[in-house]
Amino acid sequence: MHLNDPIYILGIESSCDDTSASVINRNKILANKVSNQKIHENYGGVVPELASRAHQQNIIPVVHSALEEAGISKDQLSAIAFTRGPGLLGSLLVGVSFAKAFAMGLHIPIIEVDHLHAHIMAHFIDNGSPAPEFPFLCLTVSGGHSQIVKVNDYNQMQIIGKTIDDAAGETFDKAAKIMGLPYPGGPVIDKLAQSGDGNRFRFSKPKIKDLDYSFSGLKTSVLYFIRDELKKDPNFIEKNKHDLSASLQRTIIEILLDKLKLASRQTGIKEIAIAGGVSANSGLRKTLEKEAVQMNWKTYIPEFQFSTDNAAMISIVGYYKYLNNDFSSFDIAPYSRK
Ligand code: KG4
Ligand code: ZN
């Protein structure tokens, strides 16, 4: 194989409620298609059974449209990468089974990818902006996870802090539900917060040791506060939704950044990245840039389309694993948690 020979990888992501397919040539994205499942909006969260069914309906059209946009035929694919876990088992099964069957028909290898590894590796998609240098710290914040990861190499990562209860994204979503806002709550709160006063309401911050996080106390404090205020004024939420959103968001960002700063001080690492759905938050992005000046950090923020769940991040991990001949056996099963 020559250095310039194409390596086309199809990536499949189906761990939660987004069905996504991507095609890359080496580390360049040719297509990144995401089909969101609107059905969960009415339920205040993802309904696993509905998610599996929607994946089953979406997967073939999404893959087809990714190949079409990439302008290649399926016979040109070198391998298929897919999310093996963590995530919802029924959702993962759709992507894993599809990847196996498609690859078997094409006589090409399959490559399993860990979803959280992929969120971090989104930084290595070649989109013209520089990638972080090893070792770097990555704050990985999504609907299911909140972690500080020390990334030593493409395939060598160490979790140095994590949440002991809820994830940051889950906290956005649960608070939104309390406020009667649709799912997913993160982007809605982000938008409302932009015209709100983040210092108006004070919510409790956890006192957790080392680099770990806790968000369940904050969620409870928001719940009780709103419940008490509603007794005095039934329109409290409607009247104050901007300030409530901004105050909640400010608190979550402070909690996240306090530990990230501690991690940077402890390790001496100043290459700092963020990843995962919550890294799309405009307040977090702005605050990180401010802290970067204070802390003398070099920061890396993924493009919006690579922050929330997407298959481009799956195919980029697939590419690096392909270079190492790191293929998976056809008898593997998905895992819901690690
Ligand atoms: O990474 P992701 O798409 O899926 C998981 O792996 O969980 O993350 C989804 C989470 C949801 O909790 C969603 O509310 C949150 O990311 N999120 C945001 C924003 N966009 C998505 N949270 C805050 N602000 C946003 N702009
Ligand atoms: Zn994710």
pLDDT tens profile 4-49? 899 999 999 999 999 999 999 999 999 999 998 888 887 878 999 9
Distance CA 80, CA 39 (A): 28
Nearest residue to 149 via CA among 187, 116, 190: 116
93: left (phi over 0), alpha (psi -120 to 50) or beta: alpha
Distance CA 250, CA 197 (A): 9
Residues 6+ apart with CB under 8 A from 122: 275, 302, 306, 307, 310, 312, 313, 316
Could you tell me the distance, in angstroms and rounded to a whole number, from the CA of residue 308 to the centre of ligand 2? 6
pLDDT band at 336 (very low <50, low <70, confident <90, very high): very high
Structure-block tokens of residue 265: 């001080």
Which of 278, 288, 306 has most ligand 1 atoms within 8 Å of CB, for mutation? 278
Atom of ligand 1 nearest to the CA of 282: 26
Looking at the chain, the whole-number percentage of residues with pLDDT higher than 70 is 100
Residues with a beta carbon under 5 angstroms from ion ligand 2: 142, 309
Which CATH number covers residue 173? 3.30.420.40
| Co-location of 91 and 206 in the same domain | no
| Co-location of 261 and 140 in the same domain | yes
| Co-location of 163 and 232 in the same domain | yes
Distance CA 2, CA 18 (A): 35
| Co-location of 213 and 136 in the same domain | yes
Query: 190 CB less than 6 Å from ligand 1?
Result: yes
Predicted TM-score (pTM) of the model is 0.96
Vertex 83 angle, CA 41 and 335, to 5°: 90
Atom of ligand 1 nearest to the CA of 184: 14
| Co-location of 163 and 287 in the same domain | yes
pLDDT single digits (tens) 83-117: 999 999 999 999 999 999 999 999 999 999 999 99
The answer to whether 46 and 19 are in contact (CB under 8 A) is no
The single-letter DSSP state of residue 130 is: P
| Co-location of 31 and 58 in the same domain | yes
| Total domains present in the chain | 2
Determine the structural domain holding residue 168 and report its residue range: 131-302
Distance CA 45, CA 178 (A): 12
The residue nearest atom 13 of ligand 1, judged by CA position, is 186
Sheet holding 110-114, edge to edge: 28-36, 18-25, 8-13, 79-85, 110-114
Measure Cα distances from 337 to 16, 88, 152 in Å.
13, 9, 23
Could you tell me the distance, in angstroms and rounded to a whole number, from the CA of residue 207 to the centre of ligand 1? 24
Helix (H, G, I), strand (E, B) or coil at 156: strand
Backbone angles phi, psi at 114, to 5 degrees: -85, 130
| Co-location of 47 and 113 in the same domain | yes
| Co-location of 143 and 16 in the same domain | no
Measure Cα distances from 98 to 87, 188, 291, 336 in Å.
16, 33, 43, 17
| Co-location of 118 and 135 in the same domain | no
pLDDT for the residue numbered 9: 98
Query: 186 CB less than 6 Å from ligand 1?
Result: yes
Which of 35, 142, 163 has most ligand 1 atoms within 8 Å of CB, for mutation? 142
pLDDT single digits (tens) 267-305: 999 999 999 999 999 999 999 999 999 999 999 999 999
